[in-house]
Amino acid sequence: DAGVIQSPRHEVTEMGQEVTLRCKPISGHNSLFWYRQTMMRGLELLIYFNNNVPIDDSGMPEDRFSAKMPNASFSTLKIQPSEPRDSAVYFCASRYSGSGFNEQFFGPGTRLTVL
Protein backbone atom coordinates (compact mmCIF):
# COMPACT_ATOMS: atom_id res chain seq x y z
CA ASP A 1 0.00 0.00 0.00
CA ALA A 2 1.25 3.48 -0.86
CA GLY A 3 0.02 4.96 2.39
CA VAL A 4 -1.86 8.24 2.63
CA ILE A 5 -1.15 10.40 -0.41
CA GLN A 6 -1.26 14.18 -0.31
CA SER A 7 -0.80 16.75 -3.04
CA PRO A 8 0.76 19.10 -3.59
CA ARG A 9 3.71 18.60 -1.24
CA HIS A 10 4.55 22.30 -1.33
CA GLU A 11 2.39 25.26 -2.25
CA VAL A 12 3.38 28.89 -2.41
CA THR A 13 0.63 31.36 -3.17
CA GLU A 14 -0.25 34.99 -2.73
CA MET A 15 -2.71 36.37 -0.25
CA GLY A 16 -6.25 36.27 -1.57
CA GLN A 17 -5.74 33.27 -3.83
CA GLU A 18 -7.69 30.04 -3.51
CA VAL A 19 -5.77 27.01 -2.32
CA THR A 20 -6.91 23.40 -2.66
CA LEU A 21 -5.17 20.58 -0.84
CA ARG A 22 -5.84 16.98 -1.78
CA CYS A 23 -5.75 13.70 0.06
CA LYS A 24 -6.15 10.05 -0.86
CA PRO A 25 -6.59 7.88 2.24
CA ILE A 26 -5.42 4.31 2.60
CA SER A 27 -7.78 1.94 0.83
CA GLY A 28 -10.25 0.39 3.25
CA HIS A 29 -9.95 3.15 5.84
CA ASN A 30 -13.28 4.75 6.67
CA SER A 31 -12.19 7.75 8.76
CA LEU A 32 -10.25 10.72 7.44
CA PHE A 33 -8.75 13.62 9.36
CA TRP A 34 -7.31 16.99 8.37
CA TYR A 35 -4.72 18.54 10.72
CA ARG A 36 -2.77 21.78 10.67
CA GLN A 37 0.64 22.09 12.29
CA THR A 38 2.39 25.34 13.23
CA MET A 39 5.13 26.19 15.68
CA MET A 40 2.78 28.38 17.67
CA ARG A 41 -0.30 26.16 17.84
CA GLY A 42 1.13 22.68 17.44
CA LEU A 43 -0.92 19.94 15.78
CA GLU A 44 -4.57 20.92 15.49
CA LEU A 45 -7.46 18.81 14.23
CA LEU A 46 -9.45 20.82 11.68
CA ILE A 47 -12.14 18.36 10.64
CA TYR A 48 -12.79 14.67 10.40
CA PHE A 49 -15.01 12.45 8.30
CA ASN A 50 -16.48 9.06 9.05
CA ASN A 51 -17.73 7.08 6.06
CA ASN A 52 -17.38 10.24 3.93
CA VAL A 53 -19.64 12.27 6.25
CA PRO A 54 -18.21 15.27 8.14
CA ILE A 55 -18.55 14.52 11.84
CA ASP A 56 -16.74 17.33 13.64
CA ASP A 57 -15.61 20.55 11.98
CA SER A 58 -15.23 22.53 15.19
CA GLY A 59 -11.52 22.96 14.49
CA MET A 60 -12.02 24.74 11.18
CA PRO A 61 -10.73 28.24 11.87
CA GLU A 62 -13.31 30.21 9.91
CA ASP A 63 -15.57 30.26 6.89
CA ARG A 64 -12.62 30.64 4.56
CA PHE A 65 -11.89 26.96 5.18
CA SER A 66 -14.00 24.18 3.72
CA ALA A 67 -13.51 20.44 3.31
CA LYS A 68 -15.21 17.80 1.23
CA MET A 69 -15.07 14.06 0.86
CA PRO A 70 -17.05 13.11 -2.24
CA ASN A 71 -16.06 9.45 -2.01
CA ALA A 72 -14.08 7.03 0.12
CA SER A 73 -10.85 7.59 -1.76
CA PHE A 74 -10.60 11.37 -2.01
CA SER A 75 -10.86 14.47 0.12
CA THR A 76 -10.07 18.15 -0.37
CA LEU A 77 -9.37 21.04 1.97
CA LYS A 78 -9.96 24.43 0.41
CA ILE A 79 -8.95 27.85 1.66
CA GLN A 80 -10.57 30.81 -0.06
CA PRO A 81 -9.29 33.49 0.19
CA SER A 82 -5.94 32.52 1.67
CA GLU A 83 -4.13 34.73 4.19
CA PRO A 84 -0.49 34.76 5.40
CA ARG A 85 -1.57 33.37 8.79
CA ASP A 86 -2.75 30.21 7.00
CA SER A 87 0.88 29.30 6.32
CA ALA A 88 1.44 25.90 7.95
CA VAL A 89 1.91 22.23 7.23
CA TYR A 90 -1.41 20.52 6.56
CA PHE A 91 -1.60 16.80 7.25
CA CYS A 92 -4.23 14.33 6.17
CA ALA A 93 -4.58 11.11 8.17
CA SER A 94 -6.78 8.07 7.86
CA ARG A 95 -7.69 5.06 9.93
CA TYR A 96 -10.01 2.14 9.97
CA SER A 97 -12.77 2.70 12.54
CA GLY A 98 -14.58 -0.37 13.71
CA SER A 99 -11.87 -2.34 15.42
CA GLY A 100 -10.35 -1.68 18.83
CA PHE A 101 -7.09 -0.56 17.28
CA ASN A 102 -7.27 3.11 16.47
CA GLU A 103 -3.92 3.94 14.91
CA GLN A 104 -3.95 6.92 12.56
CA PHE A 105 -1.78 6.92 9.47
CA PHE A 106 -0.52 10.31 8.39
CA GLY A 107 0.32 11.51 4.92
CA PRO A 108 3.56 13.38 4.19
CA GLY A 109 1.82 16.75 4.51
CA THR A 110 1.45 19.84 2.35
CA ARG A 111 3.64 22.78 3.29
CA LEU A 112 1.63 25.92 2.50
CA THR A 113 3.19 29.35 2.30
CA VAL A 114 0.92 32.33 1.75
CA LEU A 115 2.81 35.50 0.84
Partner 1 sequence: GQQVMQIPQYQHVQEGEDFTTYCNSSTTLSNIQWYKQRPGGHPVFLIQLVKSGEVKKQKRLTFQFGEAKKNSSLHITATQTTDVGTYFCAGYTGGGNKLTFGTGTQLKVEL
Task: By CB under 8 A, name the binding residues for partner 1.
Answer: 31, 33, 35, 42-43, 45, 48, 50, 55-56, 91, 93, 97, 100-109
Nearer to partner 1, 80 or 102 (CB): 102
**Beta strand 65-71 pairing with 74-79:** antiparallel
Nearer to partner 1, 15 or 43 (CB): 43
Q: How far is the CB of 60 from partner 1 (least distance, A)?
A: 14
Q: How far is the CB of 64 from partner 1 (least distance, A)?
A: 22
CA dist 23 to 43, 44, 90, 95, 109, Å?
18, 17, 10, 13, 9
Peptide bond into 8 cis (omega under 30): yes
